[in-house]
Chains A and B, each alone.
Chain A
Amino acid sequence: MNFRFPRACLSSGLMLVLLTFLVEPSAHAVPSFARQTGMACEACHTVWPELTHFGRVFKANGYTLDNLKQVRGVTVQREEILSLASLPPLSLMVQVAYTQLATPLPDSSGVGNSQNGTASFPQQISLFYAGKIAPHAGAFIQLTYGNDSGTLGIDNTDIRFAGLQVLPGDQSLIYGVSLNNNPTVQDLWNTTPAFGFPYATSNIAPGAAVSTQIDGARGQDVAGLSFYAFWNESFYGELGAYRSAKQATAGPLDSASAGGVVSGIAPYWRLAYEHNWGRHSLEAGLYGAKFKIFPDLAASDGAGYGQVLKGPTDDFQDVAQDLQYQYMGDKNLFSVTATRIHEKQTYSATALALGINTVGADLTTFRAAATYYYKRKFGGTVGYFSTTGGAALYNPADPANEMPASLSLTRADTQGWMAEINYVPWLNTKFSIQYTGFNKFQGLSSNYDGTGRNARDNNTLYLLGWLSY
């Protein structure tokens, strides 16, 4: 590793000290779910955003548990037709960050380097409505301002309706439906992409250029309805369907819609089993989706492409496994999460447009992380990530261009590890120092971009102050 620390250390230290002063110490600062339920964060989270068993059940139940004074409406039969909390369950989340790369990125002019050491203030500010909206319905709605977009936009959203049935033999059945905008945002475990580790990363540092569809690629780009059942708080099954729902456009989707358009609906499925004993919780599961996409070739390739949202599609079949273990002691908390996603890609539409035979590829992502916390105050995570194979059509020399003129079969391998140290002075405030090391970046460990840049030049030191109120 050719990382020289002194300056980074100094600035990081300064930053932490600064942050500590900027944050108002308030022991009663608890975000909206806590406000609504009257329970401290620890009921639902080991350390947020990781959920405990109770947190998972609370989510499955539609975020409806509440303890606030309600404004009620009932029919003559005393049927509940309105139940509004006297205070709306709102929250604010702020992330401020500082990113330092091992070697600065090239300047956009092509001459020299960009500045290294980037402050993000904020990296992200989010407003949440998180809580009950009606007797059996609740929502988690996130609006985010990001320094990358420079605008306020919709972020992860999950609106659900849930019911609970006690079956003979004291078995319980929770069932419901979720309307959401990111496959796996509705999931209950911290193994799946939307709420999996890493919970926050720098938006300045270079990251893997390709990902499977279910791994965030369609976040806020689709809308889906999924039906789920959670039997005895252990067996979980879910079936859903997603359709394109683009942002920053209101008109009907057409060949120019960025990122491609889902043909019909994309099915989503999930199976999981959770076993809890004593202070332990173990989950193993499967999930997947199939996306048939009309690529947005017209936009990048001009007249070359004759098909407009019809004919063959580019197909992505995702099948994933996941595993989670949690130990919750009074002082020591420990958890392990892992997932492996395999995607089978078949580029029929693209091949037709290029006048070649259909090409296919496999893309596999694996992520695992182990987290330890002492008294929910001091903790750390070590993680491994890798994406290998696939993305046959990806041209590494031109990362911005999804549709290269010539078919390059370069592999998309990106692989490395992460280590994070966290300090949680109050349950709603977290300071993290995160280090990401790359063994391979976009297929190669050295000279991956043809200009002599090595994978480890992208090694990243990331300081984060994260608070929710």
Chain B
Amino acid sequence: MRNVMLLSAGLLLILCAGAVFADEVVDPEVVAHAERLAVGTCGTCHGVKGVSKQPKFPRLAGQNPAYLAAQMKAFRSQQRGDPDAIGYMWGMSASLEDSTIEALAAYYAVQTAVGASVASDGASVARGREIYEKGIEAAGVPACSACHGPDAHGIADFPRLAGQHAQYVMKQLASFQNNMRNVAVMHGVAQALKVDEMRSVAVFLETLP
């Protein structure tokens, strides 16, 4: 019993030290500012905790922080440029400083992701799963899971896709394809995808927890 308590006390100390250490690295002022922004400004579209309800606005909860930060910077430098990115996010990100971007990314990364919906079209989901896990060999489409992870929770800097709105995913795939969102890797992947294949994989991803 005593040992357990000692152990817990020790753990607590380490944790607290970790927290203090973290505080030294990140300015609490910036964190507070980012939280206010996330709730009061970004929240209207993306949900106060990054779980948006409307399919036009991507879910950010549980997303890979490095990816989030990279996207905000891509909006800010006006490189990610499909019409919705231009209409909504170029303005939104224009005056974000690097430190705020990091803090915003950290804020969303720790929120709990929630699956968007339970799909009704079983055949489409099954087809989507197949594409996600195996790709489409004949068309030269690689397996998505290789980069986005077997559970679609993302790997390293590759973004999480699980639980994302199908409408948003579909539109991104189309934008990669026509290079409005100009990313070489995903252009290569999406190049040969047909619309119904995009839809299947998007619907499948939306059902994932």
Contacts and interface: CB of A to CB of B under 8 A. Distances in A.
Interface stretch (B17-25, B39-47, B125-133): B39-47
Given A61-B44, A67-B95, A170-B48, A40 B87 contact: yes
Interface of B: 29, 39-41, 43-45, 47-49, 51, 53-56, 86-88, 90-92, 94-95, 167, 171
A278 to B, nearest CB: 6
Given A43-B88, A170-B51, A278-B167, 16 more contacts: A34-B91, A37-B91, A38-B91, A38-B92, A39-B87, A39-B88, A42-B87, A58-B44, A65-B41, A65-B44, A166-B39, A170-B48, A170-B49, A172-B43, A233-B44, A278-B54
Interface string A329-360: 01000000000000000000000000000000
A67 B94 contact: yes
B40 A61 contact: yes
Nearest to B95: A67
B87 A43 contact: yes
B106 to A, nearest CB: 18
A164 interface: yes
A172 B51 CA distance: 13
Interface string A139-172: 0000000000000000000000000101000101
Interface centre among B44, B87, B92 (most CB of A within 10 A): B44
Interface in A271-307: 276-279
Contacts, number: 60
A67 B49 contact: no
Instruction: Classify chain A: how many residues form its interface, as a range.
Output: 20 to 34
A279 B55 CA distance: 7
A391 B15 CA distance: 75
A171 B56 CA distance: 20
Given A40-B86, A172-B48, A164 B40 contact: yes
A99 B168 CA distance: 45
Contact of A69 (B29, B51, B95): B95
A319 to B, nearest CB: 31
Contacts of A58: 44
A84 interface: no
A55 to B, nearest CB: 10
14 contacts: A37-B92, A38-B90, A38-B94, A38-B95, A39-B88, A54-B45, A57-B44, A65-B40, A65-B41, A78-B29, A170-B51, A172-B39, A233-B44, A276-B54
A171 to B, nearest CB: 9
A39 B47 CA distance: 18
Contacts of A40: 86-88, 91
Contacts of B51: 170
Nearest to A53: B54
